[in-house]
Amino acid sequence: MIVTYNSAPVLRGCLASLPEGAEGARLVAVVVADNASKDDSLRLAEQAADLPVRPVQVGRNAGYAAAINAGIAALDLRELDAILVMNPDCRLRPGSLAVLSKALDRSGTGIVVPRLVSTEGMLHHSLRRVPAVRRALAEALIGGHLAGRIGTLGEMIVDPGRYERPGPADWATGAAMLISAAALTEVGPWDESFLLYSEETEYALRAADEGWTLWYEPAAVVEHIGGEAKTSPMLAALLTVNRVRLFRRRRGRIATAGFYLAVLLGEAMRAAAGRRTARASLVALLRPSRRLRTLPG
């Protein structure tokens, strides 16, 4: 399943990677769940004659989770083993889907994520630990990458050796993840209130609550462009606010207050250094009326 929104510039490459990416696996359908794109995203999908494309029009720019739910609703999970959820700016390397599917056969595994790399082959640090106050504070003071190098202090896992070996993780960025039909059925729909960002965190942690393991499989490689939240003040603010919202849902008031203050400190420090995305995040944290409630379009 590919979620699109004005994704024509990258969708063609994504679709073109699927035949070789799915070698060794049975590709029943390619659902393209479109969030009311104003470009040629759906037309490009429909023109992929060599793929079993099923376009699904969400009807509005409802967000990543809502599009996933709409796409799942168009399928019969009883006929499927798993669903690959993927961003349109991803490219499957040859045979990667079969490798992910084999890893999903592990007992208790509900989600499998690949090794994510840039188009130049550089590793993306996609694995994460459970959000915690001490991790948010460490990231605020010394940054996520440096905190990640100090034991388990950071939420982001940056140890290169960890990305060379398969194993469980608390959660991972949601650019590409294979989810078993059994897990989808038991865990239920994705939480549409997050719009963008933290929805994959919420889903992975909720799956873990139900006893499902998220497994990292480095032998499956997916190229991912990404990176908009690093440059867009609007998206950066949404990402930051959603981090706090998710933490509040899973923890008590005192812990949430500590997490909020730690995140606030980090954004304030970076805003003072002139970072536009941090300024937008700081405003959204301090002024709830300025928070994004719906997505553009």
Tens-digit pLDDT profile for residues 27-86: 999 999 999 999 999 899 988 878 999 999 999 999 999 999 999 999 999 999 999 999
How far is 208 from 108, CA to CA, in rounded Å?
A: 10
Question: Predicted confidence band at 226 (pLDDT cuts at 50, 70, 90)?
Answer: confident
Question: If 0-12 CB within 10 Å is exposed, 13-18 middle and 19+ buried, where does residue 83 land?
Answer: buried
Both structure tokens of 74: 């168009």
CA–CA gap between residue 64 and residue 85 (Å, rounded): 10
pLDDT given for residue 48 in this prediction: 85
Q: Where are the beta strands (DSSP E) in the chain?
A: 2-4, 30-34, 53-57, 82-86, 90-92, 109-117, 127-128, 167-169, 171-172, 176-180, 213-224
Is residue 3 over pLDDT 90? yes
Q: Report domain extents, the chain.
A: 2-128+159-226, 230-290
Q: Is the pLDDT of residue 297 over 90?
A: no
Is the pLDDT at 241 greater than 80? The verdict is yes
Residue of higher predicted confidence among 276 and 47:
276
pLDDT band at 229 (very low <50, low <70, confident <90, very high): low
Domain boundaries 2-128+159-226, corresponding CATH code: 3.90.550.10
Classify residue 137 by its DSSP letter. Answer: H
Using the predicted structure, report yes or no on whether residue 16 has a pLDDT greater than 90: yes
- Which residues make beta-bridge pairs with 117? 123, 223
Average pLDDT rounded to a whole number, residues 208-212: 98
